[in-house]
Amino acid sequence: MSDPVALLDASALVAVLFQETGHDVVETILDSGRAATTSIALAEALNVARRKTHELDASTLRTVFAMKGLRVEPVIEADAIATAVVLAIADQQRTTRASISLADATCLAVARRLDVPVVTGDRQWTDLSLDDVTIRLFR
């Protein structure tokens, strides 16, 4: 498999699942065969699919993404340290609109390790000021 060009966060996967605005952009990235996500972001997306009563179950949805060539990147020990740093920076920036979850922070940490931009629909992420991580909106 080719190196990924982008790391999709949960909001990008949810956009595809529910055909939200911007889903066509995410699907173009998926069709390139060079999209990745994190195991945690995938779990987030599958959880949202269940909560919003998607017609397909989690196992089937995982297969759908796999057939689209989505690479699921594990979160490794080095990412744990980077995740803690991201959370610390977010803590320092609490006066801004920035409010990120643990899953968000791991996604940003993995993107940093892979040296690829994170693709998200969550505009709050753009309020974060992080070195070495590029955040791009798909809509």
Figure out which of the listed residues 19, 28, 39, 92 binds other proteins, where binding follows CB under 8 A: 28
All residues at 6 or more sequence positions from 50 whose CB lies less than 8 Å from its CB, including other chains? 58
Binding mask 47-76 for other proteins (x = CB under 8 A): xx--xx------------------------
Q: Nearest distance from residue 114's CB to other proteins, in Å?
A: 14
42: Cβ–Cβ under 8 A, 6 or more apart, which residues?
10, 13, 62, 65, 72
The CB density around residue 71, as the number of other CB atoms within 10 Å, is 18
Q: Which is closer to other proteins, CB of 20 or CB of 113?
A: 20
- Short-list 63, 89, 56, 69, CA closest to 1: 69
Residue with tokens 């998607």: 54
Between residues 20 and 69, which has the closer beta carbon with respect to other proteins?
20
**Site residues, other proteins (CB under 8 A):** 5-6, 10-11, 14-15, 20-22, 24-25, 28-29, 32, 44-45, 47-48, 51-52, 90, 94, 99-104, 117, 119, 121-124, 136-139
